[in-house]
Chain A
C-alpha cells in the first residue's frame, strides 16, 4: 500500500522569535514531481526536512497514508544540498543504507552495484568516495538513495553547488528515478530548473505557501501577485 499522499496541515515552525514556517498546508500526491519553489530564505529546506521527518513542527500535523509511521519512514529517502560522503569506498557508500536496514551482504552489494551503474559510477566502485568530484559525489548520494528503492525521494537543492554539466546529469537522473516509480519532492530557487523538472509547483514565500498548482499552469498563468513577481525575477527574497 502506498504511503502517499502526504498531508501537511497548518504546519508552523519558529526559531528565535521568528516564524520560519507559518501555517503551511499542502498535499503531495503519488507519481508526481513536486518542486517547492521560492527565493532564498523562504523556508523551502525547513519544509522539506519537516516532510521527511528530520524536523518536528511546533504546531500542525504531517501525515502519511496508513498508520505505520516506521513503515512510512523506511520508504522515503533524501539527498542533501551538500552530499555527505562516508569515509569509505563508493560501493560501501551506495550500500550503506541497505546495510542499516539489515539487508544481507549479497543482495546489498547487488543492489548497490545496480544503483552505481544507473548513476554512471560503476567504474569508481572501489575508489574512496571523498576523492570523487562534487558532481560525482551528488550522483553517489542519489545512488545511495535509489538503492533503497524509495517511494518518495526528497531532494534539497541538489544542484546548488554544481556546474551546468553536472546539474544536467542530476536532473536527468531525477527523471529516471521518477520513471522507475518514485515520487519526487525537490526544493529549488532556480526557475529554469523548476520549469525543466516540475509536474507541480508549490510556491513558498516567507514561510507561507502562496500557491500550489500544476507546473504548466503556474508558469503560464500564476494566480498570485507574488508568484508573478517571482516569475518576472522581481522578487529577490
Chain B
C-alpha cells in the first residue's frame, strides 16, 4: 500500500488537471445540490432567525434552546426522516422524489436551516440591542425592524450562510440515504469518496477529497475577504 499512495495522489492531480468527466459531473452535482439547499435554508432561516430575535412571544427561550439543539441534528437521522416521507408508502411518496437530487436538496435544507436560523438569530439579536431604542423612537414596526436588521447585518450574516454551506457540502449521511449514490444521477463528492475508498479506487477518492478541502478553503477565504472588506469600510468596527 505504501507504494500506491503517491501514485494515487499523482493520478488525482491528473484527474483534476484533465477535468475528468466523472469528476466534473460529481463536483457539479455537489455544488448544485448544496447551493440549492443553502438558498432554501437562507430563505427560511434568515427571516426565522430575525423574527426570533425581534418578536417577544411566550416560550421564546424554549424555542431558542430547541433551535440551537437542532443545529446538531445527525445527518443520517434527517436522511431517514426524509426517506420515510418520500418513500413510495410515505406521505410524500406520490412526488416520486426519492433517489433524485430533489430529495437530497430537501434533506440538506432540513439539515442546515436550523444552523442558518440559529446563527442569524444570534447576529441579529446583537444588532437589535444596539438599534432597538432608535428604531422604536423612529416608529419602526416589527417587520420593518427585521428588514433593517437583516440588511444592516448582511456582512455578518454571510458567516451564518457559509456555515450552512460548509455543513451541507461536507455531509454524507443524509444524501447517501435519500440519494442512493447513483452514478451520474445522485452521486456527490462525499458519497463518491466513501464509495471509491471502499472499492480501493483511491485516486478518484483523493481527487474529490482534495477538491472538497480546496472548496472549504475558498469558502472561508471568501468570508474573510467579505467581512474584512466590510470592516475596512467601517461597517463592523
* Residue positions of A touching B, CB distance < 8 A: 49, 52, 54, 73-74, 77-78, 80, 84, 86-88, 96-97, 100-101, 128, 130-131, 144, 148
Question: What sequence of 0s and 1s flags, for each residue 88-105 of chain B, a beta carbon within 8 Å of any chain A beta carbon?
Answer: 000000000000000000
CB distance from B203 to the nearest CB of A (A): 48
Q: Does B56 lie at the interface of the complex (its beta carbon under 8 Å from any beta carbon of A)?
A: no
A128 touching B235 by the CB < 8 A rule?
yes
Chain A's closest residue to B134 (CB) is A84
A96–B138 Cα gap in the complex (Å)? 9
- How distant is B129 from chain A, measured CB to nearest CB, in Å? 11
* Contact pattern, B 140-170, Cβ under 8 Å of A = 1, otherwise 0: 1000100010001101000000000000000
> How far does the alpha carbon of A101 sit from the alpha carbon of B138 in the complex, in Å?
9
The answer on a CB contact under 8 Å between A100 and B137 is no
Inter-chain CA distance A78–B144, complex, in Å, is: 19
Query: 11 A-B Cβ contacts within 8 A?
Result: A54-B136, A78-B137, A84-B133, A84-B134, A87-B152, A87-B235, A100-B138, A100-B140, A128-B233, A130-B234, A131-B234
Q: Is the interface of B mostly helix, strand, loop or mixed?
A: helix
A-side contacts of B233, CB under 8 Å: 128, 131
Residue of A78, A80, A88, A130 near B237 (CB, 8 A) is A130
Most buried by B among A74, A78, A100, A148: A100
15 new A-B contacts, CB < 8 A, other than A74-B139, A86-B131, A131-B233, are A49-B133, A54-B133, A54-B136, A77-B138, A84-B130, A84-B133, A84-B134, A86-B148, A87-B153, A87-B155, A87-B235, A97-B139, A100-B138, A128-B233, A144-B138
Question: If the complex has contacts A87-B235, A128-B235, are A100 and B144 also in contact, measured as CB distance less than 8 A?
Answer: yes
Point out the residues of chain A lying under 8 angstroms from B139, CB to CB. Answer: 73-74, 97, 100-101
Contacts of B133 in A (CB 8 A): 49, 54, 80, 84
How long is the Cα–Cα vector from A144 to B137 in the complex, in angstroms?
Answer: 11
Q: How far is the CB of A195 from chain B (nearest CB, A)?
A: 28
Q: Report A-chain residues with C-beta under 8 Å of the C-beta of B235.
A: 87, 128, 130
Distance between Cα atoms of A144 and B130 in the complex (Å) = 17
A131 to B232, CA, bound (A): 10
Chain B residues near A131 (CB-CB < 8 A): 233-234
Which residue of chain B is the closest to A49 with respect to CB atoms? B133
For residue A49, which residues in chain B have a CB less than 8 angstroms away from its CB? 133
Closest to A156 in B: B133
Give Cα A130 to B183, complex, Å.
52
Cross-chain contact A128 with B131 (CB below 8 angstroms):
no
Interface residues of B in 216-237 (CB under 8 A from A): 233-235, 237
Bound Cα distance from A144 to B235, whole angstroms:
19
| Most chain B CB within a 10 A radius of its CB, from A74, A84, A88 | A84
- Name the residue on B nearest A144 (C-beta): B138
Contacts of B155 in A (CB 8 A): 87
- Distance in angstroms from A94 CB to nearest chain B CB is 12
Bound CA span A137–B136, Å: 19
Question: Are B148 and A77 in contact, CB atoms less than 8 angstroms apart?
Answer: no
Q: Which residue of A lies closest to B230 (CB)?
A: A87
Establish whether residues A128 and B234, one from each chain, have CB atoms under 8 Å apart when the complex forms: yes
Could you tell me the distance in whole angstroms from the C-beta of A178 to the nearest C-beta in chain B?
Answer: 19
Minimum distance in angstroms from A132 CB to a CB of chain B:
9
The distance in angstroms between the C-alpha atoms of A54 and B137, with both chains bound, is: 7
Residue of B nearest to A131 (CB): B234
Which of A74, A86, A148 has the largest count of B CB atoms less than 10 A from its CB? A86
**Are B137 and A52 touching (Cβ within 8 A)?**
yes
Determine which of A74, A80, A87 lies in contact with B134 in the assembled complex, contact meaning CB atoms within 8 Å. A80
Q: How far is the CA of A101 from the CA of B141 in the complex (A)?
A: 10
How far apart are the CA atoms of A148 and B148 in the complex, in Å? 18
